[in-house]
Amino acid sequence: MILFNPNKHSRKYPDEKSRQIMIKTIEFFERKGLKKIKADWHKREWNHDFVRFLKDNQIFATLLTPKGYGAPDSRWDTYRNNEFSEITGFYGFPYWYTWQVTKLGLGPIWMGTNEEVKKKTAKLLQEGGVFAFGLSEKEHGADIYSSDMKLIPQKDGTYKADGDKYYIGNGNEAALVATFAKMSDTNDYVFFVVDSQHPNYECVRSVVEQQSYVAEYALHDYPITENDIIQKGPEAWDDMLNTINLCKVNLGWCAIGLCTHAFYEAIDHAANRNVYGKFVTDFPHVRKLMTDAYCRLVSMKLFCERAGDYMRSANENDRRYLLYNPMMKMKATREGEDVMNILHDVIAAKGFESEPFFECAKNDIPMLPKLEGTVHVNMALIVKFMANYFFNPKTYPEVPRRDDPTNDDYMFHQGPTKGLGKIQFHDYNIAYDACTLPNVEIFKEQIKLFKNLLTKAGPSKEQSKDIDYLLALGEILTLVAYGHLILESRKFFDVEDDLVDEIFDFMVRDFSKYALNIYSKPSNTVKQRELALAIIKHPVTDEARFNRVWENHVYAMKGQYKMKD
């Protein structure tokens, strides 16, 4: 079973410590129970109990301390970190968020050059500390070039830090906050660490009305020495972006966790509710909706699993992960929003009730596409890969399944963040040509027609400056790469042909939707409209296949899991 089920968590782990971490985390939440999770969520009670559990079981210390700095079984292992992201997301965004922003706060520390701060950080993790990433500012939002936080040199060789940071998770409790700033004298970028409990650190407020604490904090002549500085100059800028590269994948995993829990509740409610003399799941439109939601959810999981393999296998000569990671953040999370909207259409008013988990999931999931850079920021990044992805493939050794117990060293030595347009990808046709299912065949035809549009009537110089136009093209690149890794995942997961073909049913429809969006752009030439319109196709409908997927996969989720009160 590809979707997480706490009642049947038989996932294989390469070592017993990893397995125990996941099992104990599941047991913690199941003991806490749904009523208490919902009560804390409604009261906006910060998750002190979860943080105590993490300390008592040395979970952050084990998962987030790179090899050589902590206990012998500590390592930064993306495979097991993804597992933990999915599990915490399954039980609630606030628990995942504490984990996520701790990872962000640790990124610049482990990537930096200050060994003393690294040793201190390892000790603080063992003591149960959480961490924070002081990047964004109220006046600048996603404009990370324009930091107003300043580090001011003093005559005695020390520094004073002054400025304000905004939207900083864990800013209320963080043992260390990795703070991004500029030198007041040179305007060079710099990273340094501060203690959230220091008297010169002001935790102004939480800027959201949620269980998670998302802080505004201010530094008032905060004393800094060289011992607190973790990186300076261009390397500080690179470490900032590389930290985001490292951690944005977790948003996709949180979406998978939230949607999976919501799906269990939705299928049980629909299957057991009788209206107009029928169970809700007897209505054809409900079966269609639930099957679409299930296929989209499974697709999210298949894509993110395979994207993790590329991330773990990355090196200075293979940076394909820089396409797949923003897709985990942008594409998978938006698919999660679609899944939740579909499920909410099915269960209707039930989705607003205060007792089910669904209320948490539907309220929290819209945040995921909008964190760690907006959808548009990530799509603009993805567009840079379009030419090489479609027209300039490179031969690489095949990337294996990466669930081995290895420290992911390269993630802390990613190097300069320039040259994205030069990154090459393996030929996507290898994966697509290995599958001849009816809807995959239609999808492949759509890919050829899209490439035909790019070669015969590609964007003009003016259109290339139009971000809206490029974003529309980027949606299709994203969709093709999404299907590419879904098909590659078949080597590692038992996904039968019926389910794959049903997945590509919605993929063909999405391709047509994005082609229509391109067709509708006002700056199009007649030729561009003609070629865009040709991409629109109808998927192959097969009632027998649909019914098998419904019975064997979707309706089979009924009664599989319900969280105890």
Please count the other Cβ atoms lying within 10 Å of the Cβ belonging to residue 392: 11
**Helix-helix angle 467-489:284-312, to 10 degrees:** 90
User: What is d(CA 190, CA 193) in angstroms, rounded to the nearest whole number?
Assistant: 10
Residues forming CATH 1.20.140.10 domain(s) in the chain: 248-393+425-556
Residues forming CATH 2.40.110.10 domain(s) in the chain: 132-232
Architecture of domain 248-393+425-556: Up-down Bundle (1.20)
Torsional class of 141: left (φ above 0), alpha (ψ -120 to 50), beta (otherwise): left
Taking the alpha carbons of 65, 68, 71, 76 in that order, is the dihedral positive or negative?
A: positive
Strand spans (E) along 247-394: 274-275, 278-279
CATH no. for 6-130: 1.10.540
Paired residues of 219 in beta bridges: 163, 201
Residues forming CATH 1.10.540 domain(s) in the chain: 6-130
pLDDT at 287: 98
Read off the DSSP letter of residue 540: P
Beta carbons of 354 and 38 less than 8 angstroms apart: yes
pLDDT at 548: 98
pTM over 0.95: yes
pLDDT at 372: 62
In the block, which residue shows the tokens 């799509």? Answer: 379
pLDDT at 465: 87
| CA-to-CA dists, residue 140 to 35, 135, 145, 166, angstroms | 39, 10, 9, 10
Buried b (16+ CB within 10 A) or exposed e, 238-276: bbbebbbbbbbbbbbbbbbbbbbbbbbbbbbbbbeeeee
Beta carbons of 149 and 137 less than 8 angstroms apart: yes
CATH no. for 132-232: 2.40.110.10
Q: Which of 1, 4, 24 is nearest to 83 (CA)?
A: 4
Residue type for 218, please? Answer: A
Read off the DSSP letter of residue 348: G
The pLDDT tens digits along the chain (565 residues) read: 799 999 999 888 999 999 999 999 999 999 999 999 999 999 999 999 999 999 999 999 999 999 999 999 999 999 999 999 999 999 999 999 999 999 999 999 999 999 999 999 999 999 999 999 999 999 877 677 788 999 999 999 999 999 999 999 999 999 999 999 999 999 999 999 999 999 999 999 999 999 999 999 999 999 999 999 999 999 999 999 999 999 999 999 999 999 999 999 999 999 999 999 999 999 999 999 999 999 999 999 999 999 999 999 999 999 999 999 999 999 999 999 999 999 999 999 999 999 999 999 999 999 998 876 666 777 778 888 999 999 999 999 999 999 999 999 999 999 998 889 999 999 999 999 999 999 999 999 999 999 999 999 999 999 988 989 988 999 999 999 999 999 999 999 989 999 999 999 999 999 999 999 999 999 999 999 999 999 999 999 999 999 999 999 999 999 999 999 8
